[in-house]
Amino acid sequence: MIKVTFIEHNGTVHTVDGEPGQTLMETAVKHAVPGIVAECGGACSCATCHVYVDDTWKEKTGAPSEMEEDMLDFAFDVRASSRLSCQIRLKPELDGLVVRIPEFQN
């Protein structure tokens, strides 16, 4: 099991168990974490599973692909820490990962 923590814009913390190979978005949806809409179901086509990755984790989650960068153009309040959670696949090194959910999923 890989523990992941989602922090909502209002500060509510959700720490849930993910599985290796699952995406961060799938983990959020499975545990009904509010604020991850994932309208397209994980096809990197909608930008409604936008999260901010805490600085300490950026190296381990890696950088967004070109396709993901393009799709982030459709998100709101994009920052240097922005990622689409459907594009982060869980692996043992990500145990303890902390991400923040933006106020709005555009």
Partner 1 sequence: MALDMIVGSGVDGAPAEIETDALIIGAGPVGLFAVFELGLVDIKAHVIDILDKPGGQCAELYPEKPIYDIPAHPTITGQALTDRLLEQARPFEPTFHFGQRVESLKKVDGGFEVETDLGTRFRAKVVVVAAGGGSFTPKRPPLAGIEGFEGASVFYAVRKIDAFRDKAVLIVGGGDSALDWTLNLQPIAKSVTLIHRRDEFRAAPDSVNKLRELLSDGSVRFIQGQLTKLNGDSGALRSVTIRGPVGGLDLEYEVEAERLLPFFGLTMKLGPIANWGLNLNENQIAVDTARFETSEPGIFAIGDINTYPGKLKLILSGFHEAALMAQAAQKIVYPGKRSVFQYTTSSSSLQRKLGVI
Q: Shortest gap between Cβ of 69 and partner 1 (angstroms)?
A: 8
Give yes or no for a contact between 46 and 72, defined as CB atoms under 8 angstroms apart.
no
Using CB under 8 A as the binding rule, whether residue 103 contacts partner 1 is answered as yes
Using CB under 8 A as the binding rule, whether residue 92 contacts partner 1 is answered as no
Alpha-carbon gap, residue 77 to 72, rounded angstroms: 10
Of 61-90, binders to partner 1 (CB under 8 A) are: 69-70, 72-74, 76-78
* Residue 94: partners with Cβ closer than 8 Å, 6 or more residues away: 2, 4, 57, 60, 61, 88
Using CB under 8 A as the binding rule, whether residue 56 contacts partner 1 is answered as no
| Selected binder of partner 1 within 39, 55, 59, 93 (CB under 8 A) | 39
